[in-house]
Chain A
Amino acid sequence: MISIALMFAFACFGLGLLFCLWRITVGPDVSDRILALDTMVINLIALLVLYGIWKGTAVYFEASMLVAMVGFVSTVAYCRFVLRGDIIE
Chain B
Amino acid sequence: MPAIMEILISAFIILGGVFGLVGSFGLVKLRDTMQRLHGPTKATTLGIGCALIASMLYFFSTGGAVSFHELLITLFLFLTAPIAANFIAKTYIIRNIDRSELPASGREYGWSVYDDSPALRREE
Flag whether B119 is at the interface (Cβ < 8 A).
no
Q: Which residues of B contact A68 (CB under 8 A)?
A: 73, 76-77, 80
How distant is B54 from chain A, measured CB to nearest CB, in Å?
7
| Contact with A13, one of B11, B20, B92 (Cβ below 8 angstroms) | B20
Q: Which residue of chain B lies nearest to A65 when distances are taken between CB atoms in the complex?
A: B73
**Number of B interface residues in the complex (CB < 8 A):** 52
How distant is B16 from chain A, measured CB to nearest CB, in Å?
6
Question: B residues 36-58 with Cβ under 8 Å of A?
Answer: 36-37, 39-40, 44-45, 47-48, 51-52, 54-55, 58
Alpha-carbon distance between A39 and B27 when the two chains are bound, in angstroms: 9
- Give chain A's interface secondary structure class: helix
How distant is B47 from chain A, measured CB to nearest CB, in Å?
6
Q: Mark A59-89, 1 if CB is under 8 A from B, else 0.
A: 0011011001100100110011011000000
Given A29-B96, A31-B95, A83-B94, A43:B24 Cβ within 8 A: yes
Q: B residues within 8 Å of A by Cβ?
A: 6-7, 9-11, 13-14, 16-18, 20-21, 23-25, 27-28, 33, 36-37, 39-40, 44-45, 47-48, 51-52, 54-55, 58-59, 62, 67, 69-70, 72-73, 76-77, 80, 83-84, 87-92, 94-96
- Return the 4 tightest CB-CB contacts between A and B, nearest first: A16-B24, A12-B17, A9-B17, A5-B10
6 contacts between A and B (CB under 8 A): A35-B33, A35-B40, A43-B44, A61-B69, A79-B87, A79-B91
Q: A residues within 8 Å of B by Cβ?
A: 1-2, 4-6, 8-13, 15-17, 19-20, 22-23, 29-32, 34-36, 38-39, 42-43, 45-46, 49-50, 52-53, 56, 58, 61-62, 64-65, 68-69, 72, 75-76, 79-80, 82-83
